Amino acid sequence: MVIGVRAATPSSDDLAWSGRRHDDDKPGAVRGSSSADLFDAVFHALHDGEQVAVGFGGPLTTRVDEDQRNLDGTGREARAIALLDEAEAAAAGLAGLDRLLGELGKWRPWTAVSTSLPRWRATTSILVWELLPGDNAAEETDPLATDAPADSTVADSGVHGFYELLRTRADRPADVATEPVINLAAAVALRAGLPVDARQLSEPVLTVAATATPDE
């Protein structure tokens, strides 16, 4: 199942999202408006043996100082979480992600997390990606703003863009950061106690731009 979370708000309970499975070409086949709805959809999909990819609006990769490019060695996890704590105030999309992965850490602590398409294997249960507004939203001042309707096509077209990416890019190597970054999504998974390849802490999160969905 692939899900796009459109709303990026400071509240983890205020989420507008939609998604569909690979064998269902209907946009927004599954929808919700809260973090509880999102967790239920993800939990049941994982319980049924599905892989799940969830895209969140809002930056999930942020720059760090050059000496923090490679978060390795002693204290890597503690430093990554400290950087996450600093970034959370300015990263609205992290609230919903933190709630989702935190709940998975309680109820499915074996759920492996990836933020890179090539790392998303059968043994990896959930892929976290960043939903970017498409060109059709370029004239909007804030295409992920919370005052937009929950049935907006932003999430639907983001899911469509993800499936297009799967079709055209599945075998490419992992993205490599050209500047020092911290992968906030990987740090959230780490803090939630979920299995995550720590090498991803220095890699950018997979980003997918919303694209126009086929006409009904």
Residues 130-170: pLDDT tens digits? 998 765 443 333 333 333 333 457 788 888 889 888 887 65
d(CA 74, CA 185): 21
Element (H, E) at 36: helix 35-47
- pLDDT value, residue 136: 42
pLDDT tops 70 at residue 43:
yes
Residues 66-112: pLDDT tens digits? 655 555 555 666 777 777 777 666 666 688 898 999 999 999 999 99
Residues 49-61: pLDDT tens digits? 888 999 998 788 8
- pLDDT value, residue 152: 53
* Local confidence band at 64 (pLDDT 50, 70, 90 cut-offs): confident
Whole-angstrom CA distances from 31 to 18, 107, 149, 150, 152 are 4, 22, 13, 9, 11
Range 187-204 average pLDDT: 88
Domain assignments of the chain as residue spans, ordered by start? 2-209
Could you report how far apart the first and last alpha carbons of the chain are, in Å? 20
Distance of CA 121 to the CA centre of its chain: 16
Spatial CA neighbour of 56 closest among 145, 132, 140: 132
**Mean pLDDT score of the chain, rounded to an integer?**
76
Range 195-211 average pLDDT: 86
What pTM, to 2 d.p., does this model score? 0.81
Range 1-21 average pLDDT: 76
